[in-house]
Amino acid sequence: MSLGKIIDKKNNDLSKRIDKQKVPEHIAIIMDGNGRWATKKGLPRTYGHRKGVDVLKEIIKVSKKLGCKTLTVYAFSTENWTRPKKEVDFLINLFSEVLRKEIEDIHEESTKIKFIGDLGPFPENLKKIISSSESLTRNNNEFLLNVCVNYGGRQEIVKVAKQLALKCSSGEINPNEVNEELFNSELLIQGIKDPELLIRTSGEKRISNFLLWQLAYSEIYISEVLWPDFNEFEFLKAIIDYQSRDRRFGGIESLPKESFEDSQYFS
């Protein structure tokens, strides 16, 4: 499947600037700005969340076209419970409604859907539909959609620490064996590489307790656009920006040797 033409203000086709070999395999997204988008239009905040679902569907489609393999989206944080009950209830109903309506298509497109977070406090009907959606799509391997709900990065890290402490105290492992690999094996997201790119919309420059462990070396792209206005064009801009970055992971591999040796510290 090829990308169609995506023309910017200077009449450049953005799709031509994408290097298909360098598309992130895993992209994490903080879909922010739904409420502000609706309020700006004089609409209830819930309209923003509804529009946000359409945008997510579009971004999944584009991700697949680009060859990205996994999207992990922040749909409901552990802090979101502090919102007015009406909005929390709306979001919970929206998750069920979207799953009911979309799960057949999700499955037909060979997408696997996983919900990441503590599902405990959610109503039984949502838990049921989450569980049936996850089992239906369990063996799909074209694309993975991780939906983080009642998720908090710190909570996840504490949970892993507790789990490892229990294993140490029962003698199953020795405290000296605790390392990054073992820590990784207890995380909620398993078997996939960490996101190479985090996109946050609405201009906010925070991680907001999202994937604190997994984002250690991710490139961060802040889009000024509110999530309901985010689209293929804005997404491609994020990927192009990512592709222009020099990912060194704390090293200096991409620094030309001469410039290192010529630097004032070696003269």
Asked if 27 is part of the footprint of ligand FPP (rule: CB under 6 A), the reply reads no
Handedness of CA 37, 41, 42, 44 (dihedral sign): negative
Asked if 52 is part of the footprint of ligand FPP (rule: CB under 6 A), the reply reads yes
- Could you tell me which stretch among 25-33, 59-67, 117-125, 181-189 binds ligand FPP (CB under 6 A)? 25-33
Asked if 117 is part of the footprint of ligand FPP (rule: CB under 6 A), the reply reads no
Q: Residue 89 CB, nearest distance to ligand FPP (Å)?
A: 13
R_g of the chain computed on alpha carbons? 20
Asked if 103 is part of the footprint of ligand FPP (rule: CB under 6 A), the reply reads no
Asked if 153 is part of the footprint of ligand FPP (rule: CB under 6 A), the reply reads no
Asked if 98 is part of the footprint of ligand FPP (rule: CB under 6 A), the reply reads yes
- Residues binding ligand FPP: number (CB under 6 A): 18
Q: Could you give phi then psi for residue 198, rounded to 5 degrees?
A: -115, 125
Contacts of 137 (CB under 8 A, 6+ apart): 103, 106, 107, 111, 112, 113
Q: Which residue in the set 6, 27, 53, 68 belongs to the binding site for ligand FPP (CB under 6 A)?
A: 53
Record the tokens describing residue 208, joined without a space. 């907001």
Active site includes 80? yes
Active site includes 262? no
Q: Tell me how far CA of residue 139 lies from CA of 65, 110, 111, 114, 135, in angstroms.
A: 21, 8, 9, 12, 8
**How far apart are alpha carbons 267 and 261 in whole angstroms?**
8
Active site residues: 32, 80
Q: Which residues sit at the interface with ligand FPP, rule CB under 6 A?
A: 31-36, 49, 52-53, 56, 75, 80, 91, 94-95, 98-99, 147
